[in-house]
Amino acid sequence: MGVLEESQSGLVPLPESARAFSHWAISQVVKPGEQVIDATAGNGYDTLFLAKQVGELGRVFSFDVQQLALTRTREKLEEQALDGRCQLILDSHEHLARYVQAPVAACMFNLGYLPAGDRAVKTLWPSTQKAIVSALSLLRPGGRVSICAYPGHTEGRQETEALTEWLKTLREAEYTALHLVFANQTENAPQWFLIERK
């Protein structure tokens, strides 16, 4: 289902995946005309989602280190005539502050490697941490950073564990931090993290 779409019974079911939770959480805070960041363009799904959220006057900054990812992302945007709202940037997300100025309403991370791409190219905690710190510095009050992490491969597990521990160091007076694990799914299932600036 989409972002918490109502079922035939009239009830709103829980999102069934980390990505669905991320889209729901971001949709609650982004207003038309705002700036947002997709820190990991990948196949373009989050960039496309964000482009719909910000409207005609908003701006999406979408980052990836692989040209293939940006090509796939551009194709998705062009199919729906949303490419004019987005700036696609071939660079590591750790450099996002070079391209984006505050205020930012939201930043999305979908960690790991590019599906159907080169699995040797993947996110790693040192650069991911720098990118998250940069994103937090750009957030407006009430803004959110959403992170989907994938512990199903060695580097992904290390990244997920490091992220889990690092979030505990954020000052409670400044941020609310959540960590969602699906208890009845495989231990390798994606995990979701959310940081909201107070």
Q: What is the pLDDT of residues 13-55, one digit of tens each?
A: 888 889 999 999 999 999 999 999 999 999 999 999 999 999 9
Asked if 10 and 35 touch (Cβ cutoff 8 Å), the reply is no
Q: Is the pLDDT of residue 4 over 60?
A: no
Contacts 24+ apart (CB under 8 A), 128-131: 128/93, 128/94, 128/159, 128/163, 129/162, 129/163, 129/166, 130/94, 131/39, 131/92, 131/93, 131/94, 131/96
More confident residue, 144 or 11: 144
Query: Count of CB atoms within 10 A of residue 100's CB?
Result: 21
pTM above 0.85, yes or no: yes
Query: Count of CB atoms within 10 A of residue 53's CB?
Result: 22
Task: Name beta bridge partners: 59.
Answer: 35
pLDDT given for residue 8 in this prediction: 63
Residue type at 66 in one-letter notation:
Q
pLDDT given for residue 3 in this prediction: 52
- Contacts of residue 44, Cβ cutoff 8 Å, sequence gap at least 6: 62, 69, 72, 73, 74, 75, 76, 77
Residue 71, classed as helix, strand or coil, is: helix
Please write the tens of the pLDDT for every residue from 148-196. 999 999 999 999 999 999 999 999 999 999 999 988 888 899 999 999 9
Please write the tens of the pLDDT for every residue from 79-130. 999 999 999 999 999 999 999 999 999 999 999 998 878 888 999 999 999 9
- Contacts of residue 73, Cβ cutoff 8 Å, sequence gap at least 6: 41, 42, 43, 44, 47, 48, 62, 64, 86, 88
- Domain 18-197, CATH class in plain words: alpha beta
